[in-house]
Amino acid sequence: MNRDVISGHHDTAVQSLGKPTITSPVHGTTIFVDDSDRVVVDTSLAFFNRCAAGESVPLSFELAGPRRKIYFDPSKTKCAIVTCGGLCPGINDVIRGIVLELYHAYHVENISGIPFGLQGFIPSFKHPLVDLTPASVEQIHEIGGTVLGSSRGSQDISEMVDAMERLNLNIVFFIGGDGTLKAASAVARESLARGYRCSVIAIPKTIDNDIYFVSKTFGFDTAVEEARKVIKCAHVEAKGAPNGIGLVKVMGRDSGFIAANAALASRDANFVLVPEEDFDLEGPGGFLATLEKRIRARGHAVIVVAEGAGQRFFQDLPEEKDASGNVKKHDIGQFLKDRIEDHFRSLSIPINLKYLDPSYIIRSVTANASDSIFCGFLAQMAVHAGMSGKTDMLIGLWNNVYVHIPNEICMQGRKKIDTTGPLWMSVRESTGQPIMRGD
Q: Are 32 and 66 in contact (CB under 8 A)?
A: yes
In angstroms, the CA 332 to CA 148 distance is 32
DSSP designation for 96: H
Q: Which of 42, 93, 178, 208 is catalytic?
A: 208
280 an active-site residue? no
In angstroms, the CA 405 to CA 15 distance is 10
Q: Give the type of residue at 115.
A: P
Give the β-pairing of 60-63 and 38-40.
antiparallel
Element (DSSP H or E) covering residue 422: helix 422-431
Contacts 24+ apart (CB under 8 A), 44-49: 44/3, 47/3, 47/7
Which candidate, 19, 2, 177, places its Cα nearest to that of 85? 177
Q: Give the type of residue at 406.
A: P
- In DSSP terms, which residues pair with 186 in a beta bridge? none
In angstroms, the CA 197 to CA 314 distance is 47
In angstroms, the CA 164 to CA 236 distance is 53
Q: Are 195 and 161 in contact (CB under 8 A)?
A: no
In angstroms, the CA 299 to CA 301 distance is 7
DSSP designation for 414: B
| Residue ranges in 253-388 assigned as alpha helix (H) | 257-266, 287-298, 332-346, 359-362, 369-387
Which candidate, 167, 425, 103, 66, places its Cα nearest to that of 276? 425
Q: Give the type of residue at 283.
A: G
- Number of Cβ atoms within 10 Å of the Cβ of 292: 18
In angstroms, the CA 275 to CA 220 distance is 17
CA torsion, points 20, 21, 25, 26, in degrees to nearest 10?
40
Instruction: Give catalytic residues, as residue numbers.
Output: 208
